[in-house]
Amino acid sequence: MEWSATSATNAYLDTLHLCGDQKRACESSTRPEPGSTEFISALAAGTRSKLIVEVTPSASQSTIGLAAAARQTGGKLVCILPEPVLGESEKVIQDSGLKDMVEFKTGDPSEILLSYENIDFSLVDCKNDDYTRFLKLLDVNPNSSVVVANNLVGAQEGLGGHIKGMKEVRSMKNPIGKGMEITMIGKTDGLMGKRYRGRGSHGAERNEAHRLASKRSRSSRWVFKVDEESGEEHIFRVLKTPLTDRVPKSL
């Protein structure tokens, strides 16, 4: 998985701008942790994801962030949601100017997911009781893909705790805020530090740097950066003060 710092930066700033200007459109019952939307957008764009799939109860900030990432990569976001919220969700995306980047699908995610193969980037809202089944139905790109499980509660696990029979699997829980797990599959050296196999990083071998990075404060925001030359991953917190609470020039 070749990392593009330029795409990640552009998607990050684009998402920051869009969600800032459209606060009412971004509001939802599944509002993400502060900063997580930009983080997800930068991750999807930085990994050059073309086919992006989201399973969600309604369009939210995350939908806007993933659509912004698709615009950077020349890809497409497939947003799977319930029929009753389709009209409202379409308006959210239309108001953001990202209509051409999103393809809405309504119905049972278990059936719709079967139509998509080699998914590069996935985001599944885990407030749905069937989230585990949805995660298992994802046909991920075995060479390089990212699966984000959001809104996990307590000891709930995302894809990293259930995936079997696939090598080069690494998972990181709570990289930003709470209730999120990111699982990377395939050649993603440099994006998540230490390499894990099988069930991912839920055991004692969890990288200490990731553990520290998961801690947050409501008076801060997280920044994700990968050095293009060394491939090293950096996740760090920027305190929100009058001098630092500004849009970064780069990631």
- Confidence label for 223 from pLDDT (cuts 50, 70 and 90): low
What percent of the chain has pLDDT above 70?
Answer: 65
Size of the chain in residues: 251
pLDDT surpasses 60 at 164: no
Task: List the single range of 58-62, 159-163, 221-225 with lowest mean pLDDT.
Answer: 221-225
pLDDT surpasses 90 at 176: no
Any residues with CB less than 8 A from the CB of 58 and at least 6 apart, and which? 28, 29, 30, 81, 82, 85, 88, 89
Strand 121-125, strand 181-186: pairing: unpaired
- Confidence label for 33 from pLDDT (cuts 50, 70 and 90): low
- Confidence label for 230 from pLDDT (cuts 50, 70 and 90): low
Both ends of the chain: CA-CA distance in Å? 18
Buried b (16+ CB within 10 A) or exposed e, 131-159: bbebbebbbbbeebbbbbbbbbeeeebbb
pLDDT surpasses 70 at 122: yes
DSSP letter assigned to residue 140: B
Task: Compute how many other C-beta atoms are within 10 angstroms of the C-beta atom of residue 168.
Answer: 16
pLDDT surpasses 70 at 67: yes
Q: Which amino acid is at 118?
A: N
pLDDT of residue 51: 98
pLDDT (average), residues 101-130: 94
DSSP letter assigned to residue 164: -
pLDDT surpasses 80 at 188: no
CA 244 to chain CA centroid, nearest Å = 25
Q: Which amino acid is at 8?
A: A
pLDDT surpasses 50 at 108: yes
What is the pLDDT of the chain when averaged over all its residues? Answer: 76
Domain assignments of the chain as residue spans, ordered by start: 5-239
Any residues with CB less than 8 A from the CB of 184 and at least 6 apart, and which? 1, 145, 146, 147, 169, 170, 171, 191, 192
pLDDT (average), residues 219-240: 53
pLDDT of residue 55: 97
Cα–Cα distance, 72 to 54 (Å, whole number): 17
Fold exhibited by the domain 5-239: Rossmann fold (3.40.50)
